[in-house]
A and B are shown apart, each in its own frame.
Chain A
Amino acid sequence: MKKLLFRISAVLVTCAIAYFVIIYVASLTGFANWLPNGKYTTGKGYYTLSRFREIDKFSNIDVLFLGSSQVYRGFDTRQFEQKGLKAFNLGTSAQSPYNSYFLLQEYLPKLKPKYIVLDLYWHMMTKEDVTESTVDLVSNHELTDNIVDMALTTHDYTIISSLISNFVSRVHTPLTKVREKKLPKEVYISGGFVESTVPEAELAMTNPKKAYQFRNLDSKLKEPSEFQLNYLEKIIALCKQNNTKLVLVLLPVTKEYKNNLTNYNDYTNYISTISKKNNVPFIDYNTRKGLSLSSSEDFLDKNHLSPSGASKLDQFVYEDLTSLGIKESSISSL
């Protein structure tokens, strides 16, 4: 028995050492892509790193946008600045309410936003697996208490392993020294917006050809997951505690996509119920009167807006926020 225990201990100790050595070497040599559980996406997200580098320069803002890629492609903060509203777009890839909650824990005290606009795109509300979004945040954010909490709360080995990988890789390359990968035909705009530089004329020509995207249209939406609903409730409570007004939104998708969904109204009714129960406004921009978007020019694909689409949307968002009183609250706080 003693021999067995000694040998098991030897195996465990050598494994622990080898584990850290492999992760360290993989991060040095760029071999990390081959390790699904040792991965980190530092500098390889859709400008998540740039967003976090910039966010510390902001404080006391009027509006903070949260959600997935639709958000960082849908809310052009320049448009809001022009109209006198200080805004920051904290949308990140596949960000679900689970992630938004921890980001709010981190940034509510620093940014002190008057309004938070949270997108509830159905794919994020129905998902239980938050690996992609959490690994993106863990990889591109300093490992603060809130970010570490977010990773550990998942109890997901891949995410926890990614946390370890990030910790180890930052020993030789601190986050400040990482160069963010620039994406072709995508530009980061100060304030968190990601702008596509594909000309509209080109979009109009290529979009109809993207037949593969329209073959993959969902026809039935799943029910929102208990897990995400729980974090949505937590976000609502957190905003109330901090006296910050929360607005729930659904950003527009192409008409083809929306019309293909047989239970779209079930989903929006579900969100409306939550909104009424908690006295939080909910605006569905797929059915917003006056907002007319062209699938070929105002969208990059089935659910992401092009800059022209974002520009059209943001006019309406500005109007809605104004009618909800964002201007009055800005003036009264002066």
Chain B
Amino acid sequence: MLFNSFEFLLFFPVVTILYFLLPHRFRWFLLLAASCFFYMFFKPIYILILFFTIVIDYYAGILIENSETKKKKKFYLLWSLVANIGVLAIFKYYNFFNDNITSLSEALGYQNHIPYLTILLPIGLSFHTFQAMSYTIEVYRGHQKAERHFGIYALYVMFYPQLVAGPIERPQNVLHQFHEKHYFDYDRVTSGLKLMAWGLFKKVVIADRLAIMVNEVYNNPTHYEGIPLILATVFFAIQIYCDFSGYSDIAIGSAQVMGFTLMRNFNRPYFSKNIKEFWGRWHISLSTWFRDYLYIPLGGNRVPKWRWYYNIFIVFLVSGFWHGASWTFIIWGSLHGFYQVFGQITGKSRDRIVDAIGLKKLPGLYKIIQIGTTFVLVCLAWVFFRANSLSDAWYITTHMFTGFSQSLDLIVHNGFVRQRYLFLDQTKEIFLLSFVVISILILIELFQRNRSLRLEVKKYPFPMRLVFYNIIILSILLLGSFSEAEFIYFQF
């Protein structure tokens, strides 16, 4: 079920009302049943994969805790990790590896006889697999007690708000909340609803509107060069942010309505001054997952320098691969790894240059340049993330800054070309409207630097708040795109 669907508009209030009406001891069952129903709306049969990993990890957790020797604990942890990674490998990466083996064999003059699997990738597989893995690892590390209530453990993996696209939670943060009794609290419920409304605004008014233009260009990149390629790439950067952070806001907001606290997943990432900071603000639940379960076990920064750079690069390479079984994602991850390592190596020299030209005396300008540079680097990497193939990505990166005079001439003199190449096949009004909503997003993000918009709104009397609620709901109804668009991150 999609958060931006008519079905969810009915599902959410029904589940929430039943949740508060039911006695506490039955609530876990309601949430588990609702989560199963929510997931089965996509493809019912795939719930069996979830059940498989849930059963394995549930018993693995208990066996790890009950084992007396470290060797045994490790054995059961490995058992759980192999099961989880095995499921990922089969459903997500099998055909990718098979494709590459085929290409390699052909190049060497052999034939590959390994059969292809004609299966669809289960929705949100990477998210709930990672969440399940964090449980057994934390039990192994002794940071979390093994959960003995099977239903509650299943709910930890399947909790519907964050089941298909995160945030990827940790057991220490969430598991105990399923045991606690939550009471109806007007302020908390309305605060959650406001966050949901803002998330929906970001998704349907900004992300899905921009998606129409981005798809036009990225699905036919060779039809364009210069301005449209740049515009589409910048629009994609905004689209993916609003799409994913919109999802996270709806997830966190809907959980909050029922009394659950989920971790923050985005913190105004496009205001980052460097790539390292960007990753501290973008998809926080995933980057901290990689930090805790990959980067630190690899040795983190407490190793020789070359090894540290290697650790950083590997983490980003794996992160790219986590996003998708395609070379475009691997290049995207590697680019970010390269940015980070390059940033570390050149950090001191860049500081000296900035000092020498006196830029530090103008901190405001320096900050703008840093934010701008980071945004440009992130956008260049997004090209590989969004492009349908490596050749498309290559075409886009090599044609972004060409054909300006020719395009400008056509844009000025021909209305048809203007609409197609400048307005990306939209009307002038809809194209300009995109800038209006992006400006609103930037203003609100700036406002939220030290303050919470929800808390600020709460200070006003109800009639004033009513106007605010009307504006956001009417914007969604009048400006939103409702073309059954899934959230981008569902495919991961």
Contact = CB atoms under 8 A, between A and B. Distances in A.
Q: Chain A contact residues: over half helix, strand or loop, or mixed?
A: helix
Interface string B400-422: 00000000001000101100110
Contact of A216 (B184, B223, B477, B480): B223
Contact of B478 (A1, A11, A19): A19
A14 B477 contact: no
Interface stretch (A28-36, A240-248, A269-277, A320-328): A28-36
Contacts of A38: 478
A3 B470 contact: no
Interface in A128-172: 129, 156-158, 161
Contact of A36 (B184, B209, B462): B209
A317 interface: no
B444 interface: no
A297 B481 CA distance: 40
A37 interface: yes
A14 B470 contact: yes
A7 interface: yes
Q: Which applies to chain B's interface (DSSP): helix, strand, loop or mixed?
A: helix
Given A4-B189, A34-B433, A37-B480, A15 B470 contact: yes
Interface residues of B, number: 31
B116 interface: no
Nearest to A10: B466
Given A35-B478, A156-B482, A216 B220 contact: yes
Contact of A19 (B430, B474, B480, B483): B474
Nearest to A2: B186
B476 to A, nearest CB: 9
Q: Which of A22, A34, A36, A157 has the most CB of B within 10 A?
A: A36
A33 B478 CA distance: 11
Q: Which of B20, B189, B481, B482 is the most central at the interface, judged by chain A CB atoms within 10 Å of its CB?
A: B482
Contact of B469 (A11, A34, A157): A11
Contacts of A10: 466
Given A4-B189, A216-B223, A36 B481 contact: yes
A314 B27 CA distance: 71
Contacts of A18: 470, 474
A294 to B, nearest CB: 22
Interface in B151-167: none
Contacts of B462: 7
B420 A158 contact: no
B482 A158 contact: yes
B201 to A, nearest CB: 14
B430 A212 contact: no
B427 A33 contact: yes
Contacts of A19: 474, 477-478
Q: Pick the most buried of B420, B429, B481: most chain A CB atoms within 10 A of its CB.
A: B429
A59 B16 CA distance: 58
B466 A1 contact: no
Contacts of A34: 429, 433
Interface string A17-46: 011001100000000011111100000000
A4 B16 CA distance: 13
A330 B311 CA distance: 83
Interface string B449-492: 00000000000001000100110011001111111000000000
Contact of A35 (B184, B410, B479, B483): B479
A215 interface: yes
Given A33-B427, A36-B479, A11 B470 contact: yes
A11 B466 CA distance: 6
B184 A1 contact: yes
B190 interface: yes
Contact of B223 (A3, A22, A215): A215
A2 to B, nearest CB: 10
Interface in A87-129: 129
Nearest to B428: A33
B470 A37 contact: no
Given A4-B190, A14-B470, A216-B220, A37 B477 contact: yes
A104 B25 CA distance: 59
Interface string B185-229: 010011000000000000000000100000000001001000000
Contacts of A161: 477-478
A157 B482 contact: yes
Which of A10, A14, A158 has its CB near the most chain B CB atoms (within 10 A)? A14
Contacts of B190: 4, 7
B200 to A, nearest CB: 13
A7 B189 CA distance: 12
A37 B417 contact: no
Contacts of A4: 186, 189-190
Interface in A249-280: none
Nearest to A7: B462
A38 B429 CA distance: 13
Contacts of B220: 216
A26 to B, nearest CB: 9
Given A11-B466, A11-B473, A37 B478 contact: yes
B437 to A, nearest CB: 11
Nearest to A160: B482
Interface in A35-62: 35-38
A304 to B, nearest CB: 13
A22 B223 CA distance: 38
The interface centre, meaning the residue of A10, A37, A38 with most chain B CB atoms within 10 A of its CB, is A37
Nearest to A11: B469
A74 B449 CA distance: 59
24 contacts: A1-B184, A3-B186, A4-B190, A7-B462, A10-B466, A11-B466, A11-B470, A15-B474, A18-B470, A19-B474, A22-B474, A22-B478, A34-B429, A34-B433, A36-B433, A36-B479, A37-B480, A157-B482, A158-B482, A212-B410, A212-B414, A212-B417, A212-B420, A215-B223
Given A129-B483, A156-B482, 4 more contacts: A33-B427, A37-B482, A157-B482, A158-B482
A-B pairs with lowest CB-CB distance, top 4: A157-B482, A33-B429, A35-B478, A11-B469
